[in-house]
Every structure is written in C-alpha cells, then in structure tokens.
C-alpha cells in the first residue's frame, strides 16, 4: 500500500505536531507501507479535462497513492483545501476529506452543525465589536469562555470571570482592531479543569483519555501541562462521540467532551487530533489503528454481507438504547409498548424508503436518517465504506428487509390486537416490494446501455 501524509510545516522535532507525523512514518515502515510526507504548498495543481494521472511535486512526478492522510488540522488554508479537493475529484481516498476539515477548522460552524443535529453543546455567540454585554450575560452568564474562531492545542482560549473583566477584554480587542474572529461560550462549571478526549476511527470509539488541568488552571490540554489518564467512556458518551464524528463527516476524529450536570456536552472536534498523551495514557498505537482501518475499509467491497446487529437497528429505529428505554419507562402496558414500537418500526421503513428514492444531491449528507443508514451498512460490512450509489441501494434494501420483518412479527409476538398487528404487518411487508419496483438501476447497467 502507498500513502501520503500532507503536513504544512518543516519536520522540526520541537514542534508538537511533528513527533506524531513521524510516528505515522515509523508505523508505516514497520507495516511495509510506502508513506511520503509532503507539503501541500509544494504541489503544482493543474485543472484540465484530461484522463490519466499526472501530479507534479517540487518538479517531480509522483505515483498515485492509495490514500492521503491530512495532518494540517485547524491550520488548513485555502491552498491545502484546493489540493485535497483536486485529489478527491481524482478518486483518491482522503482521511479526512476537505469538506470535513474545513468545517471542523471553523469552531462556530462546528457548533452550528452539531446543534442542528440535536447534539448537546455549550451555548455559543459569535463575537462582534462593540459587543452587547447584556446579551452575553443573559445568554451565557459569567464566567464566560473567549476563543479565537480557529485555534489548536488550547491556544487562543481564555476565561473571563465576571462582567467587568469581559468588558475590559472587549474594549481592549476593539481598540486594538483585532483581526481574529472570536467566540463567546458558556462556561460549564461541572467540567472545570477537566474533559475527555475521545478518539473515533471509522465511526467507532478506539480510546478515551480524561484530561486534567494543572492546579490553578482551567485548560486541560496535555500540551499545556495537563495530565492524561485512561478513561472508559459510558455508553452515552461513546455514542455521543461517534455521532459527533459522523455528523461532522470525520473518519478520524478527536472529540472533546465536557462533563455537565445532566450528562455531557461536546466542546470541540479535531480533524487531526494530537495523540501523544493518549498513547501514553491508554497504551495504544494510534497510527497502527488508523492504518488497520484504512486497510480494512479499502477492501470493504470484497467483503460478504453479514447479519446486522441489534445495536445498529436500534439506532436506526429509536435513535439509540436510551430512547428505547425511555419508551419502555413511559409505556408500562405490554400492548401499548408493542404498538409504540411497531409504529416506530414502520416509520423507520418509510424514512429508509424515502432516503433510497431521493437523489443524493437533495439529501443532507449528514442527516439523521442518512447517518443511521450508513452505520447499519457499515455494521453489515464489518467496516465503514465510501459512499456509492449502488451500495446505497444495497444498504437501503438491507435495512428495509430487516425493519420490515421486525415490524411484521413484533406486534404478534407482543400480543397486540389482531387488527392492529395485521395492519402493521401488511404495511411493513410492502416496503421491500415498493423499493424493488422503484429503485434506481445500477450504474453498471446504465453504462452497458450507453455503450450499446
């Protein structure tokens, strides 16, 4: 296997990101992977309507890689994004892709996307000057966190303890005509000086580390003197981290989660997460885990389908075990519970059918239904796979069959009234037939007809 790492700086070991890039190179060599470390700005990009592979780097031609790892993170600039988009259009596997990297580099956009998906975040305001302090106090309260819109490893973050300190800072920034954009964010007291960094690879939580700030500080970043301790996330936290990574389109992600009084809140997401502290705390080899997943997902199309687990179906139909448990707690009578479950199963079938028949360009890429369908397909394959129209139809049919069978038999098993159970069964069993009659034809068939 041949790969590239895109890194924007010189390989100076004094830089905190460099040892991690070199760790990828070291692990790749041990696995027999030919891995080059390349600077995005040293490529010559040519957009032209020609076939074939032609890439120029520092005056030399490079062979096509099997994958590209981008380690520029929040410092990704337009040129790097242009390089990534160029290779994305040429069909090269990117980890992560330009859209996700650009989204996560903008902390406000990250919060907006997570909030839209219904995930818990601290309330956040985009800074402007002069700033209405009354609005900040009303919406966020004090203390308040002030962040630059783009920052990494805890830089560009400070805490204003009260209104006076905030007004002094706002006045200073305004008078200095500060060029950076700022965010004001609710301070989560329950998580003072600590958070959890969760590493998600291919939609699965690989490891987690609780980070604790030094005494007298509130920043828990290991790079700033914080201490990292191996942490076993609860099911709720693991699900939250995986959903956040999926919502943001990240295949490899570091999700920072805060402890709140009634659960958790997502603080930040990272497209090129630092992992030196995580490796020390958890005793894992992060580059090896990344390469394992890349190799497995490269071969995904050759893998046979296997039976899906109940976990994937529960996520699709109910949105997770917590919501299923909430239904059970709310509906005590057995028939009422069977009816509630049956209706949700039918609803999942309708949503899956709609998603399979709607052109991909008209569906929000990271909508809830699309996300859960993708998780179900990944579960059936054993590893995540790149989006493809033929595979999308395969995943939709798989989902419809599984959901329809459950929707057809569950009301009878639960002892629901015959009329209600029979109606649900009839409706549910129509979904696969409707899908097969109206599905889009495979691309291979269309190509053959075009050739003729």
Pairing of strands 93-95, 263-270: unpaired
* Residues 124, 136 contacting (CB under 8 angstroms): no
CA–CA distance, 25 with 36 (Å, rounded to integer): 8
**Is residue 410 within 8 Å of 345, Cβ to Cβ?**
yes
Q: Note the pTM of the prediction, 2 decimals.
A: 0.66
Q: Kindly report the three-state secondary structure assignment for every residue of 361-401.
A: HHCCCCCHHHHHHHHHHHHHHCCCCCCCHHHHHHHHHHHHH
Closest by CA to 4, choosing from 24, 27, 30, 19, is: 24
pLDDT of 302: 45
Provide the pLDDT for residue 385. 39
Residue 353: what pLDDT?
Answer: 64
Q: Which two tokens stand for residue 423?
A: 């109606």
Given this model, what pLDDT does residue 174 score?
Answer: 72
Q: What is the pLDDT along the chain (452 residues), one digit of tens a residue?
A: 899 999 999 998 888 889 999 999 999 999 999 999 999 999 998 877 766 677 889 988 899 999 999 999 888 999 999 999 999 888 899 999 999 999 999 999 999 999 998 999 999 999 887 788 899 899 988 999 988 877 665 567 888 888 988 888 887 877 766 656 888 999 998 888 889 999 999 888 999 999 988 776 666 666 566 788 999 999 899 999 999 999 999 999 999 999 998 889 999 999 999 999 899 999 999 999 999 999 887 765 445 555 555 666 677 677 766 667 677 767 667 777 777 777 777 777 777 666 665 544 433 444 566 666 666 666 655 544 344 444 455 555 555 566 666 566 656 555 666 676 667 666 666 665 555 554 444 433 333 333 33
Residue 166 makes CB contacts below 8 A (sequence gap 6+) with 133, 136, 142, 144, 146, 160
H/E element, 3: strand 2-6
Q: What is the pLDDT of residue 101?
A: 95
Domains and CATH numbers, the chain: 2-104 (3.40.50.20), 123-187 (3.30.1490.20), 192-295 (3.30.470.20), 303-449 (no CATH)
Q: What is the pLDDT of residue 372?
A: 66
């Amino acid at each position: 296997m041949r790969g590239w790492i895109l890194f924007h700086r010189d390989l100076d070991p004094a830089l905190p990101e460099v040892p991690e890039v070199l760790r990828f190179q070291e692990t790749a060599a041990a696995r027999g992977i030919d891995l080059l470390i390349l600077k995005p700005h040293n490529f010559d990009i040519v957009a032209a309507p020609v076939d074939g592979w032609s890439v120029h780097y520092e005056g030399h031609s490079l062979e096509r890689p099997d994958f590209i790892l981008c380690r520029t993170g929040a410092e990704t600039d337009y040129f790097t994004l242009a390089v990534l988009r160029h290779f994305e259009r040429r069909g090269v596997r990117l980890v992560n892709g330009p859209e996700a990297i650009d989204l996560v580099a903008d902390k406000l956009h990250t919060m907006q996307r997570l909030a839209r998906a219904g995930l818990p975040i601290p309330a956040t305001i985009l800074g402007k000057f002069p700033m209405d302090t009354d609005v900040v106090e009303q919406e966020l309260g004090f203390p308040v966190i002030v962040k630059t819109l783009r920052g990494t490893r805890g830089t560009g973050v400070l805490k204003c303890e009260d209104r006076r300190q905030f007004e002094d800072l706002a006045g200073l920034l305004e008078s200095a005509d500060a060029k950076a954009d700022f965010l004001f964010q609710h301070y989560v007291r329950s998580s003072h000086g600590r958070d959890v960094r969760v590493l998600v690879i291919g939609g699965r939580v690989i490891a987690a580390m609780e980070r604790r700030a030094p005494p007298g500080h509130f920043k828990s970043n290991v790079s700033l003197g914080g201490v990292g301790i191996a942490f076993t996330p609860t099911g709720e936290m693991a699900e939250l981290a995986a959903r956040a990574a999926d919502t943001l389109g990240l295949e490899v992600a570091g999700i920072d989660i805060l402890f709140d009084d009634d659960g958790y809140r997502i603080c930040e997401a990272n497209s090129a997460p630092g992992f030196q502290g995580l490796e020390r705390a958890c005793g894992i080899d992060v580059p090896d885990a990344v390469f394992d997943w890349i190799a497995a997902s490269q071969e995904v199309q050759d893998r046979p389908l296997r039976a899906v687990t109940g976990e994937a179906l529960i996520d699709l139909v109910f949105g997770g075990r917590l919501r299923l448990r909430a239904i059970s707690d709310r509906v005590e009578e057995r028939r009422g519970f069977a009816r509630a479950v049956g209706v949700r199963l039918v609803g999942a079938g309708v949503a899956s059918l709609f998603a399979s028949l709607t052109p991909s360009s008209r569906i929000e890429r990271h909508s809830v239904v699309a996300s859960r369908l993708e998780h179900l397909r990944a579960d059936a394959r054993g590893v995540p796979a790149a989006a493809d129209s033929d595979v999308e139809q395969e995943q939709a049919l798989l989902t419809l069959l599984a959901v329809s069978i459950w929707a057809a038999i569950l009301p009878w098993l639960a002892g629901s009234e015959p009329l209600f159970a029979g109606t649900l069964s009839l409706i549910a069993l129509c979904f696969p037939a409707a899908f097969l009659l109206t599905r889009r034809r495979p691309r291979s068939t269309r190509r053959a007809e075009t050739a003729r």
